[in-house]
Amino acid sequence: MSEERAEYDVVQNSTVCSFFVPGLPVAQPRQRHANIGGHVRNYIPKSDPVHTFKATVRLCCMRALPDGWNPDGPMRVVATFIFPRPATKTKKRGNVREPKTSKPDLDNLTKSLYDAITGVAWNDDKQVYKEYIGKYIAGDGDVIGVEVALFSGGQ
């Protein structure tokens, strides 16, 4: 069996959960450190926008989970982060979705997404065995946010 066919079979034998998270995607920031009573405490400030982003991801994911979803098995993730088009890249018409090669880093965007989904669609992000993730500048008709498809099972 070819690799392409094997990949198709995995998706065919999986339960799918797809959802869209509206709003500007937010990357996981670096933790800050405080020395309290001789102990170092790691934290992310409560005012950081990542908390609102994660809450929105959790809500969208919970609403989209199908009946019979198995949070214990292997997972595949397809996610597309869509960012606003900067004024310097705006044309009068014909804007197409294009790769975003500037900040934030893709791995930090993925961390915030996975942290938000943990405990909702899966027990731990170590269950993810395959991912296809991209970040793009919005084209005409695109809505800013994150397109997510999760595939549970399919072994």
pLDDT at 47: 82
Residue of 5 and 75 predicted with greater confidence? 75
Q: Among 84-88, 134-138, 139-143, where is mean pLDDT lowest?
A: 84-88
Domain boundaries, the chain: 14-153
Residue 10 buriedness (CB in 10 A; 0-12 / 13-18 / 19+): middle
Q: What is the pLDDT of residues 12-58, one digit of tens each?
A: 678 999 999 999 999 987 776 778 788 887 767 788 889 899 999 99
**49-63: b (≥16 Cβ within 10 Å) or e:** ebeebbebbbebbee
Domain 14-153 classified CATH 3.30.1330.70?
yes
Cα separation, 36 vs 20, in Å, equals 40
pLDDT at 6: 42
Q: What is the pTM of this model?
A: 0.85
